[in-house]
Amino acid sequence: MTNGRKIPQTISFTCYLRIVVCLPLLAASVSSCGGGSTDDGRTVVRVVTWKPDYPHLWDTALARFHRANPDIRIAREIGPQNSTQLHDLLTQKLRNRDVSVDAFLMDVIWTAEFARAGWAAPLDDRFPPEERAQFFAGCIAADVVGDGIYGVPFNTDSGVLYYRTDLLDKYGFAPPRTWPELVDQVDSILAGEDDPRLSGYSGQFRQYEGLVCNMLEFVGANGGDLLAPSTPEVIAAVEFVRDRIIAGVAPRGVLTYQEQESLDLFASGGAIFHRNWPYAWAVCRETAMAGKVGIARLPTFKPGMSTAALGGWRFGVSAFSQHPDEAWRVVAFLTSPEMQELFAVEGGKAPARRALYQDADVLGANPHFAALYDVFETATPRPRSPIYPELSHILQRFLHAAIADTLSEIPALAHQAAVAIQTAQARID
């Protein structure tokens, strides 16, 4: 319902966004309690998001929403930037049926958990198949649980390889196609530069979800499956990371790095190669590395097996919201073409909508997106499971222990992880 009138079901999702009347933003105080309305009668919709890289973009987005929807006021709760910490915050609220949450951002790996727990409202009637077709198939698949859909993609992500074009050009190298080739290039460049401040590779190897993404890419590039950790393909890939990356071309500090720390090293000129998400391109443009950074598919071990972890965020509506219709209007607006274009052009966030990869403004600000379209289409999702957080923690412990110790017994650690995974999965079968 909106303003007492039912929205005709024949109106398309995109057309609905354009029906709202644009009026000036009205100032109002917002109470801190759950639900309710402002002093001038506007409905308060409470949205939980992560701590943003570009706060001004959210200010712009909310101002545009308020101009177009004068009957709603968004109250945004800014959670931690760390995905695991934000997950903990949200699950605590939703487990307690907290009505102070109407809509929220979900990591791509949370949808199955939130849907099976009854925390995320099904969006089938609001988000029809013809609208879903405007998004990358992998993004939509991540939000489908059983016969229902529980999220709307806000942006997409996949792991990519950044490299110093100045150094590769200087030594006559093309971007490496295989991981062993990357190591060989690093060895040659480091020997030629003789700079103790320069390292070969910067990635995310702290014990957290980013480690699973990084290792999924190495394992997938060798034809392995992380949920079968004791197979030869997985063990060989993990051994390569331990011996040739962590104990070889990367600084020891990468074992404590998340996205920001690893990007800081690369953006300051301290690494030759860097694995990160597409947003890092925009960050590098504002540093001393501007004009010296290239982007490519991640290397592989076996031909045709380059693997990029699917990332990205989506908006869900709380099953306990007292204002589900208004919450949906917020979600629909923030995932619209206009908003995805805004976050792409000014924040480097890769849109989840296919058509924006032909948008002149998006490609003008992010020319590398054109080359990454196929990567986004084929990015590899992490396991879709209602117990994914538990599976992830098992994998994080195994992988970090395996790569951090140069004398680790990887087959034994892998066997322990395999048993733990099988035990966890048996509880839901």
pLDDT of amino acid 41 = 87
Question: The tokens 């990887």 sit on which residue?
Answer: 410
> Does 12 score more than 70 pLDDT?
no
Q: Which residues of 404-419 are buried (b: 16+ CB within 10 A; e: fewer)?
A: beeebebeebbebbbe
pLDDT of amino acid 20 = 41
pLDDT of amino acid 419 = 98
Mean residue pLDDT across the chain = 90
- Identify the band that residue 323 occupies on the pLDDT scale cut at 50, 70 and 90: very high
Q: What is the mean pLDDT of residues 413-417?
A: 98
- Identify the band that residue 2 occupies on the pLDDT scale cut at 50, 70 and 90: very low
> Does 35 score more than 70 pLDDT?
no
- pLDDT tens for residues 86-99? 999 999 999 999 99
Q: What is the mean pLDDT of residues 278-302?
A: 92
- pLDDT tens for residues 210-224? 999 999 999 999 999
Q: Which of 388, 121, 180 is nearest to 302 (CA)?
A: 180
Q: Which of 25-34, 108-117, 175-184, 321-330 has the lowest mean pLDDT?
A: 25-34
Q: What is the mean pLDDT of residues 333-361?
A: 96
> Does 389 score more than 80 pLDDT?
yes
Beta carbons within 8 Å of 269's beta carbon, 6+ residues apart: 164, 198, 288, 289
> Does 282 score more than 90 pLDDT?
no
Model pTM score: 0.79
96, two tokens: 């307690």
> Does 44 score more than 90 pLDDT?
yes
pLDDT of amino acid 383 = 85
Q: What is the mean pLDDT of residues 65-81?
A: 95
Q: What is the 3-state secondary structure (H, E, C) of 123-157?
A: CCCCCCHHHHCCECHHHHHCCEECCEECCEEEEEE
Calculate the CA dihedral of residues 177, 182, 188, 189 and round it to 10 degrees: 100
Express as a percent the part of the chain with pLDDT over 90.
79
pLDDT of amino acid 29 = 34
- Identify the band that residue 278 occupies on the pLDDT scale cut at 50, 70 and 90: confident
- pLDDT tens for residues 112-168? 999 999 999 999 999 999 999 999 998 999 999 999 999 999 999 999 999 999 999
pLDDT of amino acid 396 = 97
Question: The tokens 């933003």 sit on which residue?
Answer: 25
> Does 404 score more than 80 pLDDT?
yes
Q: What is the mean pLDDT of residues 342-370?
A: 94
Beta-carbon count within 10 A of 195 CB: 11
Q: Report all structural domains of the chain as residue ranges with CATH numbers, in order of start.
A: 13-157+311-378 (3.40.190.10), 160-307+387-426 (3.40.190.10)
Q: For strand 72-78 and strand 43-49, is the pairing parallel, antiparallel, or unpaired?
A: parallel
pLDDT of amino acid 54 = 84
Express as a percent the part of the chain with pLDDT over 70.
91
Question: At 328, which helix (H) or strand (E)?
Answer: helix 324-334
> Does 25 score more than 60 pLDDT?
no
pLDDT of amino acid 222 = 97
Q: What is the mean pLDDT of residues 41-60?
A: 93
From the number of C-beta atoms within 10 Å of its C-beta (0-12, 13-18, 19+), residue 24 rates as exposed
pLDDT of amino acid 36 = 65
Q: What is the mean pLDDT of residues 185-197?
A: 97
- Identify the band that residue 26 occupies on the pLDDT scale cut at 50, 70 and 90: very low
Beta-carbon count within 10 A of 350 CB: 29
> Does 321 score more than 60 pLDDT?
yes
> Does 328 score more than 50 pLDDT?
yes
- pLDDT tens for residues 235-258? 999 999 999 999 999 999 999 999
